[in-house]
Amino acid sequence: MNSFGSNLRRQPLVALAAAPLVALAATLAAQVSPPANPPASAAPGPAPAVDQHGPTIKETYAQCFLIGMAGDVPGNYSDAEIGLIRENFGVVTPENCMKPAPVHPAEDTWRFERPDALVKWCRENNLLVHGHTLVWHAQTNPWFFQGGDKAVITGRLKDHIATLVGRYNGKVRSWDVVNEAINDRGDAETAKTENLRNSRWLQSLGPEFLTLAFRFAHEADPEAELYYNDYGIEAGPKHASSMLLLKRLIKDGAPIHGVGIQGHWSTATVPFDSIDRAIADYKALGLKVSISELDVTIRGASGGQFGPGFGGRGGPVTPPSAQDLRAQAEAYARVFSIFAKHKDAVERVTFWGLSDRRTWRFGQHPLVFDADNQRKPAYVAIVDAMRQPKADSDKPR
């Protein structure tokens, strides 16, 4: 199969990076309809027809970066879902089973059944594993901090990381070492600081808890690539704080290799220009970048917060309109064009979930497979974003 062929063959496609998005919108409208020209307030209608058999995103972007998914595989995934994962992804992030609370619920208790099964299954199916996550303010049981002084808590941190990373030495290629250490809200004043979240880790060990975590992870597996991972760090005061934090870690000799921009966005508010600049900023620090938890909702809040309204579960689910799906496709195509532009720095793009059924943002239709495991217009648009004709200046003379 021609990896640069289109799901929507025989029609010339618009180059996303080179052409105005208005043209893309017209192209998508022509390709994924009926219905044609839905009204702005389109009522939920039949989903546009999408060819299910064109090239995969994974093969289309193979020369740029890895394409991943998050899930606690193989777990209770259906045969159809397992097939989808094998065909479409090259790397798996365990969505939950390696987090501190599930894997290490008490000081003397480890639950390795699911992580072991995940690593084994991935190896048998030629999928890489990205570990998530060693140090986090959430999903971490209180025992880590109880009845201990700084030395004891540092010892627990070291034991946790050494045991987990050591167990999968050579089998897990990279880790989110510290997750979401920077505060959500920021302003001009906090932008001049690291603005660290007031977590139990910060309270117990001070700002050096990050440096220690990276050192312990590196000791446990010197070959593993080590990431700082966070949401909202691509823009505004939080981006400025992330730059200060990363510069400090590098200056202090922390073995950090990359930064994960989570990428929990919403169609109407994707910060395209900020994403472009943030990747360039991190690259300038000598770091790799991963888009580590990508999902672009059709509706609903963006961000990565785990809190009230989490996942949008519980309420009635409104199906997306054809117009919703087209807008989401444009947003996805545009962010992939930005990632591809920075392919020298971006090493992995991971979707957070598998489908609109297997997602923490259920009801907000955030992924590129629908709830029935079918490719959505966004899938096609991402593939077609790579089929741009070369600009004249790029052509060989």
Q: Is 306 a binder of ligand G3I (CB under 6 A)?
A: yes
| Two structure tokens written together for 236 | 């505004």
The alpha carbon torsion through 187, 193, 199, 203 (nearest 10 deg) reads -140
Q: Which stretch binds ligand G3I (CB under 6 A): 38-46, 54-62, 92-100, 234-242?
A: 92-100
For ligand G3I, give the closer residue by CB, 237 or 304. 304
Rounded Cα distance between 365 and 355, Å, is 8
Alpha-carbon distance values, 186 to 180, 351, 352, 372, 393 (Å):
14, 27, 25, 39, 42
The DSSP annotation for 179-226 comes to E--B-S---TTGGGS--B---HHHHHH-TTHHHHHHHHHHHH-TTSEE
Q: Is 96 a binder of ligand G3I (CB under 6 A)?
A: yes
Q: Return phi, psi of residue 80, to 5°.
A: -65, -40
In the complex, least distance from residue 360 CB atom to ligand G3I, rounded to whole angstroms: 3
Determine contact, residues 351/71, Cβ cutoff 8 Å.
no
Strand intervals (E) in the chain: 66-70, 91-93, 128-136, 174-179, 225-230, 258-261, 264-266, 288-297, 346-351
Determine contact, residues 350/132, Cβ cutoff 8 Å.
no
In the complex, least distance from residue 272 CB atom to ligand G3I, rounded to whole angstroms: 21
In the complex, least distance from residue 207 CB atom to ligand G3I, rounded to whole angstroms: 21
Catalytic residue flag (residue 189): no
Chain residue at closest Cβ approach to ligand G3I? 360
Instruction: Kindly determine how many residues on this chain lie close enough to bind ligand G3I according to the rule CB under 6 A.
Output: 10
For ligand G3I, give the closer residue by CB, 293 or 347. 293
For ligand G3I, give the closer residue by CB, 89 or 360. 360
In the complex, least distance from residue 329 CB atom to ligand G3I, rounded to whole angstroms: 23
In the complex, least distance from residue 293 CB atom to ligand G3I, rounded to whole angstroms: 5
Q: Which of 81, 225, 234, 293 is catalytic?
A: 293
Determine contact, residues 260/282, Cβ cutoff 8 Å.
no
For ligand G3I, give the closer residue by CB, 55 or 366. 366
Sign of CA dihedral 42, 43, 49, 50: positive
Rounded Cα distance between 103 and 116, Å, is 11
In the complex, least distance from residue 303 CB atom to ligand G3I, rounded to whole angstroms: 9
For ligand G3I, give the closer residue by CB, 95 or 221. 95
Q: Is 304 a binder of ligand G3I (CB under 6 A)?
A: yes
Q: According to CB under 6 A, which one of 265, 282, 360, 362 is a site residue for ligand G3I?
A: 360
Q: Which of 81, 95, 180, 234 is catalytic?
A: 180
384: closest CA among 1, 5, 2?
5
In the complex, least distance from residue 341 CB atom to ligand G3I, rounded to whole angstroms: 25
Long-range own/partner contacts, residues 188-194 (CB < 8 A, 24 or more apart): 188/237, 190/237, 190/241, 191/236, 191/237, 191/240, 191/241, 192/240, 192/244, 193/241, 193/244, 194/241, 194/244, 194/245, 194/248
Q: According to CB under 6 A, which one of 262, 266, 321, 337 is a site residue for ligand G3I?
A: 262
H helix runs in 5-144, sequence order = 21-32, 57-60, 79-88, 100-103, 113-124
Q: Is 81 a binder of ligand G3I (CB under 6 A)?
A: no
Q: Is 229 helix (H, G, I), strand (E, B) or coil?
A: strand
For ligand G3I, give the closer residue by CB, 304 or 377. 304
Q: Which stretch binds ligand G3I (CB under 6 A): 28-36, 78-86, 93-101, 329-337?
A: 93-101
Q: Is 77 a binder of ligand G3I (CB under 6 A)?
A: no
For ligand G3I, give the closer residue by CB, 234 or 384. 234
For ligand G3I, give the closer residue by CB, 232 or 377. 232
x/- binding map, residues 119-158, to ligand G3I, per CB under 6 A? --------------------x-------------------
Q: Is 199 a binder of ligand G3I (CB under 6 A)?
A: no
- The residues in 276-295 that bind ligand G3I, with binding defined as CB under 6 A, are 293
Rounded Cα distance between 61 and 50, Å, is 20
User: Which residues bind to ligand G3I, rule: CB under 6 A?
Assistant: 95-96, 99, 139, 179, 262, 293, 304, 306, 360
**Residues with catalytic roles:** 180, 293
